[in-house]
Structure 1
Amino acid sequence: MKFDFKQFILLFFILLVASLDSVERYFELDQIAFWGIGLGLLIIYGISYYLNRKFAPTIVFFIILHFCRYINEWFTQLIGTNFNGTYFLIPVVLFTLLILFFPRIKSTIGWWHKESVDRKLILQMLLAVGISSIAMFIYLKMNQSSIDRFIGMLPEGSFLFLIVMGIAYAVLNAVVEEYIFRGMIWNGLEKIMTNKPLIIFTQAAIFGISHYWGLPGGITGVVLIFFWSLYLGYIRQKTGGILAVIGLHFGANLLQYFMLFLFR
């Protein structure tokens, strides 16, 4: 696959905005940096709209993520829990409203449709969740000293309450992260790439690196999530949407949640 200069610029933009997403999630920004990044994103949007109008909505999504930063922080403090599923929930809802009310934006979103999943694929996905859970258990076992922060985030309460919280965590995290990575980032990549394996590899690399500060984290976590994301990308490509990968992500997150209790 040959890239022209326009494609290189747009690819650089999507890598840049995805990087800013991770930086803003885990690092403090002063007001100058916040407004400077916001201005930069608006400039990137203008250039993207000029180069490829179908690519531009991906930048709009990341602009919303950026300017919702303080609302995101307020919301997580209000509900007393702070993970990607709650931190990015409001921007995801806002952009979904744009999709619903602006047909021009909806026409550029390739995954906004119902997909079909057969029984064979469901069994394959269940096997993948099982394998990923074994890998996660081994990771937690070998990195007990580095997971205290996440263990400290586990809720207290009755058994039923813990189950409800686990399901809520798994659902929100799966929906939001798949919306961002196999949804909007993938959406931008497919507007500038025709090579599907390259799209799968690129989104997996972005997702893996973004988990450096997450669970699993560090270099080992990046590698594990990279390979997991390759499979998620394969399912995303096979089904054409994000419902199946949300289901996969949900299963992995739910098992991860209950595994943490074993190490508390």
Structure 2
Amino acid sequence: MNFSGTGRIDLPEYKAGGRERFFIFLSITTFSIAVFEEVRALYLVPVPLLLFLLIGFQFKWKSLFYLNIPLFVLTFINIFPYGKNLWPGTLVFALIFYFFTFSKIRNAGLLRWLARGEVSKQVLGLSALFVLSASVALFLWFYLLDPDISDIKENFPKGDIPLLIAAGVGFAIINAVAEEFLFRGILFEALLTAGCSLFWALVFQALSFGILHLHGFPRGWVGVGLAGIYGLMTGLIRILSKGIYYPILVHIFADITIAGIVLFFAK
């Protein structure tokens, strides 16, 4: 597949300059290492992200500024005890701050990603393939590695089956929308404004998505690899569909699988 052309996706109107590009890459790298407990314990992530946000504001580097709004808010919340246990609520909260400036972001030409996109046989076929392969991979990871996910299970409600199903579906929808907005939306867009080709924007956002699953589901370094591959899958759907809706739909099915495993199979 040729990623060199621009016909498969609406590229952002905003183009970052050389110094802004450097800080965009640095912001995403800094955000990605927030997953490590040692870094979080020393408050090493929110401080530089706040600095990058202020630099973006001072120099009117719009892509850098708007990128760091959700990144700073999210990492700041996560330094507090139990902050990481409120996921995806913490991410939703960070995105609310981002969308407070919706009209300004749109006027800056940085909201091309927030589009329904186009459906095609290729998009539908790959979406079905990715849903099936992700579900199988998640079950295999759970049964073969027997991971301890008791901390995740504690965050889900306990009750009758209808309540559990409603909670699982609700989690799947909210988590899928929030994560796709951040990774296949905001981060992907920022990488494109920084001059990345579609191929490298696809790779870099998938790397960040994978690393941030070190303590998630799937977890561990195997989980990082699986989540990274999944980030490539949903990123590819975003490119081919020219929008965010179809990656969200694919992601919802994967998260329904995760919720089902946590609620009905995990100890």
Per the shorter chain, which TM-score range? 0.7 to 0.9
Q: Which runs of 5+ in 1 are unaligned?
A: none
Letter in 1 for 2:97: L
Report the Cα distance in structure 1 between the residues aligned to 2:29 and 2:244, rounded to whole angstroms.
Answer: 23
Name the structure 2 match of 1:157. Answer: 159
* C-alpha distance after superposition, 1:126-164 (max 9, x if no partner): 221111111111100122242233234342111111111
Cα drift, residue 213 of structure 1: 1.2
Name the structure 2 match of 1:142. Answer: 144
Name the structure 1 match of 2:51. Answer: 40
RMSD of the alignment, in Å? 3.2
Name the structure 2 match of 1:173. Answer: 175
Q: Which runs of 5+ in 2 are unaligned?
A: 5-16
Q: Identify if the C-alpha distance between structure 1 residues 23 and 95 changes in structure 2 by more than 3 Å, giving closer, same or farther.
A: farther
Name the structure 1 match of 2:32. Answer: 19
The structure with the largest helix share of the pair is 1
TM-score, normalised via structure 2 length: 0.80
Matching residue within 214, 221, 227 for 2:223? 221
Q: Does 1:86 align with 2:89?
A: yes
* C-alpha distance after superposition, 1:174-221 (max 9, x if no partner): 011111111111111000124111111111111111111111111101
Matching residue within 103, 110, 119 for 2:112? 110
Q: Identify if the C-alpha distance between structure 1 residues 158 and 104 changes in structure 2 by more than 3 Å, giving closer, same or farther.
A: same
Report the Cα distance in structure 2 between the residues aligned to 1:248 and 1:174, rounded to whole angstroms.
Answer: 9
Q: Identify if the C-alpha distance between structure 1 residues 55 and 28 changes in structure 2 by more than 3 Å, giving closer, same or farther.
A: closer
The answer to which of 6-15 and 227-236 deviates more is 6-15
Q: Identify if the C-alpha distance between structure 1 residues 235 and 38 changes in structure 2 by more than 3 Å, giving closer, same or farther.
A: closer
Cα drift, residue 46 of structure 1: 4.3
Cα drift, residue 239 of structure 1: 1.6
Secondary structure of residue in 1 paired with 2:215: coil
Matching residue within 89, 95, 99 for 2:98? 95
Name the structure 1 match of 2:9. Answer: none
Matching residue within 130, 133, 137 for 2:132? 130
Secondary structure of residue in 1 paired with 2:201: helix
1:204–1:229 contact (8 Å) kept in structure 2: yes
Q: Identify if the C-alpha distance between structure 1 residues 28 and 118 changes in structure 2 by more than 3 Å, giving closer, same or farther.
A: same
2:158–2:164 contact (8 Å) kept in structure 1: yes
Report the Cα distance in structure 2 between the residues aligned to 1:9 and 1:61, rounded to whole angstroms.
Answer: 19
Letter in 2 for 1:91: A
* C-alpha distance after superposition, 1:75-124 (max 9, x if no partner): x88xxx9343212111212322311466534x222212231223552243
1:115–1:239 contact (8 Å) kept in structure 2: yes
Letter in 1 for 2:32: S
1:207–1:225 contact (8 Å) kept in structure 2: yes
Report the Cα distance in structure 1 between the residues aligned to 2:72 and 2:155, rounded to whole angstroms.
Answer: 29
Report the Cα distance in structure 2 between the residues aligned to 1:241 and 1:229, rounded to whole angstroms.
Answer: 15
* C-alpha distance after superposition, 1:37-91 (max 9, x if no partner): 46523444247x45x4344321233234355x28x979x88xxx93432121112
TM-score, normalised via structure 1 length: 0.80
Letter in 2 for 1:257: A
Secondary structure of residue in 1 paired with 2:101: helix
Report the Cα distance in structure 1 between the residues aligned to 2:224 and 2:115, rounded to whole angstroms.
Answer: 30
Name the structure 1 match of 2:197. Answer: 195
Report the Cα distance in structure 2 between the residues aligned to 1:21 and 1:53, rounded to whole angstroms.
Answer: 23
Report the Cα distance in structure 1 between the residues aligned to 2:163 and 2:232, rounded to whole angstroms.
Answer: 34
Cα drift, residue 5 of structure 1: 5.3
The answer to which of 175-184 and 152-161 deviates more is 152-161
2:117–2:243 contact (8 Å) kept in structure 1: yes
